[in-house]
Amino acid sequence: MAHLLPYLEPPSTPLPPPLTSPRSINASPKSALLVENDEHLLNFFRRSLTDEGYAVRTAADSEEALRLYHDCAPFNVVLIDYYVPQKNGSGIDCLVPQTHGIGLARAIREINLSQGIIIAALDYQTAQEVTRPRELMHIPLLIDISNFQLRGLLEKIEVDRMLEMLTTAELLKLQRFADFRVRGLGRAADGRTGKDLLGEAVVRTLTGAEDTQKGRHWNKNVDFVQHLAGAIRSISNCWKRHCKEEVYLVSELVIHDVEGQEYSPLDNLASEQVAADQCLIEKDEESRVLATFKDDSDATHVLQGLLNGLKKHEIMLRYGLGEKQYAAVVKRIRVKLMGLKSGGTRGEKHGR
């Protein structure tokens, strides 16, 4: 298999250094560089990428691709056929496999380590058969030309890119958001943390799975932070629901008496009754939170308002708080509760 690795030879004339201010190919939000010398495949891939919203630049050989990359990078994705020649046109020995796709991928990676790349290796049955150097093993392979595999890889590259682009503030917001959501779950959190919630939000984004049985990946028109926040809301609601369903499963235990009559051991409990221990835990948590702010009357008012289901404007009206004052109080509550969590006095106990 050594013949499959003739890495891209250096071009006869040195290439210019990558542009410091890259010229994007156009105003399209997503761009792709497609490197393919087979006309049918070129058309197929171009159509597929266009359908997914990419503005597509094409190159038929690795030299042309590298030139285009230098001129127009970065691209959202570079799709390279494993069997792309180094140079198109006459002089190519058609009997020798032209496998410059790997060399091109390596050259692009040397320019931009984080460039999203897909290698189409459609002549292979499995990924294991595709010879690649170790440093390129992480690059996803397209083995099956069916649209769903390409779509999945494109989605993954986009999500990876967005994860790397999240700013410090955005990451902190997501973490806080997830932490508060988990804390609100009480026992339904079942020992899971905000980090578990964040991790599942990414898995859900990549699988596109929904409870509704209808797949939904990240809608690129929605801000990525908002999308992840939506996934976090949905997952935490799901955890809560599953926890409640487990209660119902126990209540559905059916027992037959000697006369064959069916009854449940929990028949005497009201059907919508909240488990007593769950209620006690919640009351305990409420008391603990209120006690934390016993010396802060504004915070106590806001907390009591929120606990009683009042809206922001209702709380402001009832307790005579202005907008800025209300924001300052909520900030104090957040900081103190998060501080308690950081100090380890909460969290571990929660939901066990």
Question: Binding to other proteins (CB under 8 A): which residues in 114-173?
Answer: 122-123, 125-128, 138, 140-141, 143-146, 148-149, 151-152, 155-156, 159-160, 163-164, 166-173
* DSSP string for 35-52: E---HHHHHHHHHHHHHT
Burial of 122 (0-12, 13-18, 19+ CB in 10 A): middle
Site for other proteins in 218-277 (CB under 8 A): 225-226, 229, 235, 238, 240, 242, 270, 272-274, 276
> Which x/- pattern, by CB under 8 A, does the window 21-60 give for other proteins?
-----------------x-xx--x----------------
Please name which of 117, 84, 111, 122 lies closest in space to residue 100, comparing C-alpha atoms. Answer: 84
Contact 103, 133 (CB under 8 A): no
For other proteins, the binding residue among 176, 220, 247, 328 (CB under 8 A) is 176
What's the CA gap between 225 and 78, in Å, rounded?
25
C-alpha dist (Å) from residue 239 to 95, 192, 233, 242 = 59, 10, 10, 5
* DSSP string for 105-144: HHHHHHH-TT--EEEE-TT-SSGGGS---GGGTTS-EE--
**Residue 325 Cβ, how far from other proteins at the closest point, in Å?**
14
Burial of 178 (0-12, 13-18, 19+ CB in 10 A): buried
For other proteins, the binding residue among 107, 198, 231, 299 (CB under 8 A) is 198
Check binding of 180 to other proteins (CB under 8 A): yes
Which one of 24-32, 61-69, 256-264, 278-286 is the stretch in contact with other proteins (CB under 8 A)?
278-286
**Residue 295 Cβ, how far from other proteins at the closest point, in Å?**
18
**Residue 59 Cβ, how far from other proteins at the closest point, in Å?**
18
For other proteins, the binding residue among 26, 50, 114, 207 (CB under 8 A) is 207
Site for other proteins in 304-343 (CB under 8 A): 306-309, 330-331, 333-335, 337-339, 342
